[in-house]
Amino acid sequence: MTIEGVARADGTLDPLQEAFLDESAIQCGFCTPGMVLMGKDLLDKKPTASETEIREHIKGNLCRCTGYTSIVRAIRSCRKDEDPASRAPEGRQAAN
């Protein structure tokens, strides 16, 4: 899968992509596709991953802008045990 395949079929962003925007986890954007894909991979395998597990899973993808805190927060917000109502979808469209 590539980052282009993460958005939903109707063109709206995946909840994890929304979370990256909502949590300001995107700075220069260089690492963002890899971080989203790594986060999605982890949550698909372990939907209730702990913060330690999230940090371990993304450690091979370097980010020089965010300090990882906002990235980890974005991934955590999409865990199965998080309250989905805490992040109302805004219906953003994926870029073509």
What integer pLDDT is reported at residue 91 of this predicted model? 53
Per-residue model confidence as pLDDT tens digits over 16-38? 999 999 999 998 989 999 999 99
What's the angle, vertex CA 75, arms to CA 62 and CA 73, rounded to 5?
A: 85
Going by C-alpha positions, the residue among 90, 16, 92, 96 that lies closest to residue 49 is 16
pLDDT digits (tens), the chain, 96 positions: 899 999 999 989 999 999 999 999 998 989 999 999 999 999 999 999 999 999 999 999 999 988 899 999 999 999 988 665 554 444 556 655
Within a domain: 43: yes
d(CA 91, CA 56): 30
Within a domain: 49: yes
Within a domain: 93: no
**How many domains does the chain contain in total?**
1
Within a domain: 94: no
Could you tell me the residue range of the domain that residue 48 belongs to?
32-83
Q: What is the CATH number of the domain that holds 73?
A: 1.10.150.120
Secondary element (H or E) of residue 32 = helix 32-45
Within a domain: 2: no
The whole-model pTM stands at 0.83
